[in-house]
Chain A
Amino acid sequence: MPVSAWLMLFGTLLIYTIGFTFCFLKIKREKEK
């Protein structure tokens, strides 16, 4: 598999990880308020 394909794979996984983390941190912060 070419490097560009690996980059798309891990890039997408990273974007979703950031996205989910952001949402769940927002929930936690609101609960703490």
Chain B
Amino acid sequence: MKEIWDNRLAFVLAAIGSAIGLGNLWRFPYIAYRYGGGAFLIPYLIALFTAGIPLLMLEFALGHRTEHGAPLAIATYKKNWRWLGWFAIAIAFGVVTYYTVIMAWSFIYFIHSFSISWGNIPEVFFNNLVLESSTTPLNLGGINGLIVIFLILTWVAIYYSIYNGVKTVGKVVYATVIIPWLILLVMIIRGVTLPGALDGLSYYLTPNFAALKDPVVWVNAYAQMFFTLSVGLGIMIAYSSYLPKKADIVNNAFIIGFADSFTSFLAGIAVFSSLGFLANQTGQEVASVVSSGPGLAFVAYPTIINMLPFASRLFGALFFLMLITLGIDSAFSLVEAASKAAIEKWGKFPRRVLNIFIAGICIIVGLLFTTRGGIFWLDIVDHYLCCYGLVVVGLLEAVLMAYFLNTKGFMDYMNEQSEIKAGRWWLFSIKIIVPVILFVALVYNTYKELRSTYEGYPSVALVFGFSFLIVLLIISILLSKKKRSV
């Protein structure tokens, strides 16, 4: 019997949970600040309607119509493109190997937050005591046992979150979506009531309309929209394959797109009001305390927590609980996408055995990111998987749908059962806007890559990082070529 979601809300929350992740908190606010402040919201909202929501609809339609995971869903229409479905899964697999390591750091910090163990210099604590980081990716310097323990714990949490497939996922997401939203609300209220908050918000929201003339700002707005919605990873195809026959596609895509991008916007308010407070307390300009990525979560935020006038331990614990709950549903959605594809290919093995197998391989690969040079490898692999792998999958998915399949047929299929009807705007987005923008993003990323070495890392490390992506591509092709393959 076909597995289906308990109800519509469970599906919507699961898709929102997958889309909302650490990037909403530590990437969007920084990108918005860097590319035009408040003015960035204009290309970002345009990207939501012309690329984000149309791509979500595309993946939902593909999954719902075929009732399969990415490889088999694509192969249903074009057998020769099956590798693309496997490539999406392979990238999801690659991403989850390091995403879970960040989750492990978050668990460690959650425990430390009860005693504020990071002391007065959180940067030293993060690099020297938690990561025991080396200074270059070429010095791996052994595995960090504590991170490995928490990595395994993270995988145990993921394993039980997808234990019975969407039956379990549909229940877990009520907690993993609603808890971070509530904490974010608390963080906003705490943030905006701190001295200096408005100075921080001013950096985030004051529009620099001149920036909109710069094509790089538009490319970044579309790229951010593309990364944040978890498209191109096979997740939304897998999740929508569990929808009942009569289920809405278009309105769900709108709700999920709105919820995800709105969360990013709110996260910006929480982050910049706190950064304004940090600047105020240290007598610096907001511009000099702005950070993103792990630097924001594990260095800047602990510094801010230290300076809070009261209940700093409580806010510290809440912040890291928010990180954990934000990340865990994105992580298990990546595994669920791979699990669905694995079940369809090796159906003779039970789901739980396949999940343990996936977790085992991910932990082994993830050990690279638990080494002393792990944080650098995490950055390098993330760079190649997201800037190239994900963009290529999104681009080819749109090209496949727009020029090799009956696009109009898919639109009619969506409209048959949706509360909002897709129209010419969807066709225009999928046929023109999405392929053009993703192609431009790919060319732009390659141009930047050739002009200067990414973050000044040694060439050997970058070649290895790129090889990681190529290995995933080769594995995808092999999986799709094998006889009797799905």
Seen from chain A, the residues whose Cβ lies within 8 Å of a Cβ on chain B are 1-2, 4-9, 12, 15-16, 19-20, 22-23, 26-27, 29-30
Considering only CB atoms and an 8 Å cut-off, how many residues of chain B contact the other chain?
23
Instruction: Indicate if the CB atoms of B207 and A8 lie closer than 8 Å.
Output: yes
User: Which of B41, B202, B206, B248 contacts A12 (CB under 8 A)?
Assistant: B41
On chain A, the residues within 8 Å of B206 by CB distance are 1-2, 4-5, 8
* Contacts A15-B45, A23-B255 given; does A30 touch B38 at CB 8 Å: no
Instruction: Indicate if the CB atoms of A5 and B420 lie closer than 8 Å.
Output: no
* Complex alpha-carbon distance, A8 and B251, angstroms: 26
User: Which of A1, A7, A20, A29 contacts B419 (CB under 8 A)?
Assistant: A29
On chain A, the residues within 8 Å of B258 by CB distance are 16, 19-20, 23
Instruction: Indicate if the CB atoms of A27 and B38 lie closer than 8 Å.
Output: no
**A9 to B, closest residue via Cβ:** B205
Instruction: Indicate if the CB atoms of A8 and B205 lie closer than 8 Å.
Output: yes
Contacting A at CB under 8 A, from B350-367, are none
Instruction: Indicate if the CB atoms of B202 and A27 lie closer than 8 Å.
Output: no
On chain B, the residues within 8 Å of A7 by CB distance are 38
**B49 to A, closest residue via Cβ:** A19
The verdict on B254 contacting chain A, using a C-beta distance below 8 Å, is yes
Q: What secondary structure prevails in chain A residues at the interface with B?
A: helix
Q: How far is the CB of A6 from chain B (nearest CB, A)?
A: 8
Instruction: Indicate if the CB atoms of B205 and A26 lie closer than 8 Å.
Output: no
Instruction: Indicate if the CB atoms of A19 and B254 lie closer than 8 Å.
Output: yes
Contacting A at CB under 8 A, from B248-289, are 248, 251, 254-255, 258, 262, 265, 269
Instruction: Indicate if the CB atoms of A26 and B41 lie closer than 8 Å.
Output: no
User: Which of B38, B201, B265, B269 contacts A4 (CB under 8 A)?
Assistant: B38
* Complex alpha-carbon distance, A4 and B45, angstroms: 18
Q: How far is the CB of B476 from chain A (nearest CB, A)?
A: 35
* Complex alpha-carbon distance, A5 and B420, angstroms: 33
The proximity string for B residues 205-223 relative to A, scoring 1 for CB distances below 8 Å and 0 otherwise, is 1110000000000000000
On chain B, the residues within 8 Å of A30 by CB distance are 248, 419
Q: How far is the CB of B128 from chain A (nearest CB, A)?
A: 38
On chain A, the residues within 8 Å of B39 by CB distance are 8
The verdict on B169 contacting chain A, using a C-beta distance below 8 Å, is no
Q: How far is the CB of A24 from chain B (nearest CB, A)?
A: 8
Closest 6 CB pairs of A and B: A8-B38, A5-B205, A26-B419, A5-B206, A1-B202, A30-B419
* Complex alpha-carbon distance, A27 and B255, angstroms: 11
The verdict on B380 contacting chain A, using a C-beta distance below 8 Å, is no
The verdict on B198 contacting chain A, using a C-beta distance below 8 Å, is yes
* Complex alpha-carbon distance, A8 and B39, angstroms: 8
* Complex alpha-carbon distance, A26 and B37, angstroms: 33
Instruction: Indicate if the CB atoms of B202 and A5 lie closer than 8 Å.
Output: yes
**B200 to A, closest residue via Cβ:** A1
* Complex alpha-carbon distance, A20 and B265, angstroms: 15
User: Which of B41, B45, B198, B251 contacts A1 (CB under 8 A)?
Assistant: B198
**B41 to A, closest residue via Cβ:** A12
Among B199, B202, B205, max chain A CB count under 10 A is at B205
On chain A, the residues within 8 Å of B202 by CB distance are 1-2, 5
On chain B, the residues within 8 Å of A15 by CB distance are 45
* Contacts A5-B38, A23-B251 given; does A12 touch B265 at CB 8 Å: yes
User: Which of B38, B251, B262, B269 contacts A26 (CB under 8 A)?
Assistant: B251
Given contact pairs A5-B37, A26-B420, enumerate 6 new A-B contacts (beta carbons under 8 Å): A1-B206, A5-B205, A8-B205, A19-B258, A20-B258, A27-B251
Q: How far is the CB of A23 from chain B (nearest CB, A)?
A: 5
Q: How far is the CB of B455 from chain A (nearest CB, A)?
A: 31
Instruction: Indicate if the CB atoms of A8 and B41 lie closer than 8 Å.
Output: yes
